[in-house]
Chains A and B, each alone.
Chain A
Amino acid sequence: MTDNVSEEEDVLEIKDLRASAGDKEILKGINLTVNSGEVHAVMGPNGSGKSTLAQVLAGHPAYKVTAGSVLYEGQDLLDMEPEERAQAGLFMAFQYPVEIPGVSNAYFLRAAYNEIRKAKGLEEIDSMDFIGLLEEKLKVVEWGPEIMSRAVNSGFSGGEKKRNEILQLAVLEPKLAILDETDSGLDIDALRIVAAGVNTLRSPDRSFVVVTHYQRMLNYIVPDFVHVMSNGRIAMSGGKELALELEEKGYEWVEAASGAPAGAGA
């Protein structure tokens, strides 16, 4: 289980994953495999379970996994604490990034960066070196250094919060990045910056799972695969053209075509 470097493996392998919040089952048997360097879009109507999938993968304590398995680089992901997942290279960009007044963006990000280094047996880096590292990363989201002295997400606009998530992604350099509705609430300029940031960070060693309601972002971040969720399951999978078809025909089409009932609360 600790031997995760010797051979090429799937980055993520989800098998028949079921999860609930309280008494309510939300994920009803998800199967999904993500290989290194691939970008997978997960789409679906409200209530279909796509955000829950993202949160379960990050280890959100509000959800309980009731069945199935998730392997991340061959390790049992479900057995890992949220911080262990992050230290192993998994990152989720939050749909609603949390405000932490009192702690600067630089302080928070360096704390995270150093925890991940520590977990890898690397030395922590001091604030001067970190500032140097940030300089490069800030360019990814077209920001100047002044953002780093502001408190984490505190008083940030919706767009700034999402950009900050992408900045964290750039600094923490995960192997698997899950974007949970990163496009929601973004105006076109912010969307362009966020998407360009993600595209800069695409690499053969990094996979993305892009959770989104709308096809809009996928014009910028072109996926290798598109999956459509409905009622807690992946109802349909295809290439990038599926997103366009979906835009045209609407989610009802997927539900009709797959025989699944409409997403709860959609």
Chain B
Amino acid sequence: MSEAVLQDLEIRAGATIADGPDWLEPVRRAAADRFAAVGFPASRDEEWRFTPIAPIAQTTWRPSPGVAARVSADRLAPFIFGHPEWSTLVFVNGAYSKTLSRVMELPRGVRVGSLAEALRSDGSVLQAHLTRHAPNDGSPFTALNTAGFRDGGLVHVPAGLDLDRPVHFVHVTTPGAEGTAIHPRNLIVVERGARASVIESYVTLAPDVIYWTNPVTEVAVAAGSWLEHTRIQRESERAYHVGLTHVDQQRDSHYRSFTMAMGGALARHNLHVRLNDENIETLMYGLYLTRGEQVVDNHTAILHEQPNCRSWEVYKGVLDGRSRAVFNGKVFVRPEAQKTDAKQTNRNLLLSDLAKVNTKPQLEIFADDVKCTHGATVGRLDDVALFYARSRGVPQEAAERLLTYAFAAEVIEEVALEPVRNELDRLVLERLEGQRGGGAAGKG
């Protein structure tokens, strides 16, 4: 059956595996073999217990078309934050669109562009990093991506350079994506002492269409470097999204992640960060907004391998309708990793009686001189706070919206880039207004 999936997706028969440099081919072949051997995860698999992937496994998906569908720049405009001075790479239904993309003048040596194009020309950086971070013996979804990916965003910032403007990967789907599986593959490499800010968006122009996005993003944060990585998932609410972000951090580096999830019938994101050396800082912020029958699942894993590192994680969720959220936060602390300072928080706000949360912190600590804390809450809007807002003249519904917005905004504040922060603010307010109707406590 798993072999059939590979056939349907034209991974075995098609040109995908053979496409690209020689060193990549055996890696992709091995990944295909691995997927063929293990197939989709079973529901008894602990890692996938709360993630109903049956609709993905039971659908016969077609491969995404190899060429980008035509999309007018106007229709794309709402998704790119109105910042023409940012480099933007646009992928339509998985294929790179040169006409919609815009790569601005960059510091000498910096590389920003399509991964597939880079694979045709370049060697060493890709060979050192692509498929070297996200383990192919990990999730079968990762193996399938490795075997089947066609394109995605590439950012490479050489040592000591500062990418002063953000780079935005926009993965957009159109009605043409109906019934297809898309395997975007992104690679972000920030070399020694370099700085960058990358945004990765999954958006749609086909809000009623069923498709499946299976992205993998590999991130290498070298010694002394700094990266802010914002991931915004706004797929069709009928689509499936199963993604992995794998980050390897070296000595003295700083990685800051913000993950927003509001789309998908089923949306899962795994964020794995490995702290390979000393004095590393990792910040992971997340926000998920769910409604209707959506299932949104965040699995995070932080691996502290060496001493004196700090990881700080805050994920917050706002759930409405009959939706469900899953949060699983693993923190592993190796015996060598003394003086680890790890804090994890997951807070959920239920707007409906029918919404549900499965939250599970999972701390496995093998060092004895560490500071590791975790906390999870599931609750409703605070009555006293509601009364406070109402006693100032704000009507009940607007007060509920205001406090819900406040709950979400507290984590959005952590996004360093102001235009992105404003856009996320706007998305939250828009969603809350759509949900509750009536006048809003306007933002200004």
Contact = CB atoms under 8 A, between A and B. Distances in A.
Interface of A: 58-61, 81-83, 85-87, 91-92, 94, 97-98, 100-103, 107-108, 110-116, 118-119, 124, 126-127, 130, 151, 168, 172
Contacts of A86: 390-393
A127 B444 contact: yes
Contacts of B392: 86, 91, 108, 112, 115, 168, 172
Nearest to A85: B391
B403 A82 contact: no
Given A61-B387, A111-B441, A100 B403 contact: yes
Interface in B388-408: 388-396, 398-399, 402-403, 405-408
Contact of B391 (A58, A100, A102, A119): A58
B335 to A, nearest CB: 37
A111 B406 CA distance: 13
A86 B392 CA distance: 6
Q: Which of A86, A115, A118 has the most CB of B within 10 A?
A: A115
Nearest to A101: B410
Q: Which of B398, B443, B444 has the most CB of A within 10 A?
A: B444
A59 B395 CA distance: 13
B396 A83 contact: yes
A103 B406 contact: yes
Q: Is the interface of B mostly helix, strand, loop or mixed?
A: helix
Contacts of A58: 391
A107 B385 contact: no
Contacts of A60: 387
B413 interface: yes
Q: How large is the interface on B (under 10, 10 to 19, 20 to 34, 35 or more residues)?
A: 20 to 34
Given A94-B388, A115-B394, A119-B393, A102 B406 contact: yes
A252 to B, nearest CB: 33
Nearest to B385: A98
Given A61-B387, A86-B390, 5 more contacts: A83-B395, A100-B389, A102-B409, A103-B402, A151-B410
24 contacts: A61-B383, A82-B390, A83-B390, A86-B393, A91-B391, A94-B388, A100-B406, A102-B406, A103-B405, A103-B409, A107-B441, A107-B443, A108-B389, A111-B394, A111-B398, A111-B442, A115-B393, A115-B395, A115-B398, A126-B444, A151-B406, A151-B410, A172-B392, A172-B393
B383 to A, nearest CB: 7
Q: Which of B391, B406, B410 has the most CB of A within 10 A?
A: B391
Contact of B413 (A102, A108, A112): A102
Contacts of B409: 102-103
B384 interface: yes
Interface string B250-270: 000000000000000000000
Contacts of A118: 439
Nearest to A104: B409
A58 B391 CA distance: 7
B388 A97 contact: yes
Contacts of A126: 444
Nearest to B384: A98
Interface of B: 382-385, 387-396, 398-399, 402-403, 405-410, 413, 439, 441-444
Nearest to B392: A112
A174 to B, nearest CB: 10
B390 A111 contact: no
A87 B396 CA distance: 13
Contacts of B390: 59, 81-83, 86
B232 to A, nearest CB: 19
A85 B391 CA distance: 7
Contact of A101 (B394, B395, B406): B406
Nearest to A153: B388
A250 to B, nearest CB: 32
A92 B385 CA distance: 14
A172 B393 CA distance: 9
A168 B406 CA distance: 19
Contacts of A130: 444
A81 B75 CA distance: 44
A83 B410 contact: no
A180 B399 CA distance: 22
B385 A100 contact: yes
A168 B391 CA distance: 11
A189 to B, nearest CB: 26
A92 B391 contact: yes
A124 B413 contact: no
Contacts of B394: 83, 111-112, 115
Contacts of B395: 81, 83, 115
Contacts of B443: 107
Contacts of A119: 393
Nearest to B411: A102
B398 to A, nearest CB: 7
A118 B440 CA distance: 12
Q: Which of B402, B405, B406, B410 has the most CB of A within 10 A?
A: B406
A124 B393 CA distance: 14
Contacts of A82: 387, 390-391
Contacts of B403: 100
Contacts of B406: 100-103, 151
